[in-house]
Amino acid sequence: MRRVRARGIAAHVRAGAAAFTCQVEEVSDEGAFLRTDRRLGLGLSIEVDLVKPGGRKALHTRARTSRVVESGASAQPGIEVQFVSINPDDQQRLAAWIDELSGLSAAVAPAEEAPSQDATRMMVQVKGLLLEMDALRDQLRERDGEVEDLRRQLATVEQLLGRRKGG
């Protein structure tokens, strides 16, 4: 298992109803360490979309939390995830990313063409915000449905109460 530093790769994590974006610290073909202060339980099944700076398509995986690191004097908070399911095309893309990150790829761009760290960080943040916006839009649709259902229930109760008082 070759593990490399994941410069600029973002992770969009979905754990139940929660969705958040974080930075990928290290990645291998078997899992990753995600830098986040969100607390997740051990053994939790999650979905993780990995996004490379400038990339157009996320790499989708299903994963399980295998270690949780709390923040401390010498530790940055984060979660270790083990990939449980990844389709063959995404597995090949992940292997190519790892080759590129470890410097084994022959197609490494010249340094002057590489985006600056600030630009990379900004791209990661924008992608994260877009994903969070989509998740919030979905939550809003769900809430609208719940509110409409509660209004119908209230109308029914008011109608029943009105009949009792009048009867």
φ, ψ (nearest 5 deg) of residue 65: -70, 130
The string of pLDDT tens digits covering residues 46-63 is 999 999 877 778 899 999
The structure's pTM equals 0.60
* Concatenated DSSP letters of 71-114: --SS---EEEEEEEE--HHHHHHHHHHHHHHTT--TTPPPGGGS
Tokens 């009949």 -> residue: 163
pLDDT at 34: 92
The string of pLDDT tens digits covering residues 7-30 is 789 999 998 888 899 999 999 989
For the chain, percent of residues with pLDDT exceeding 70: 85
- What CATH architecture does domain 4-139 belong to? Beta Barrel (2.40)
The residue extents of the domains of the chain are 4-139
pLDDT at 110: 45
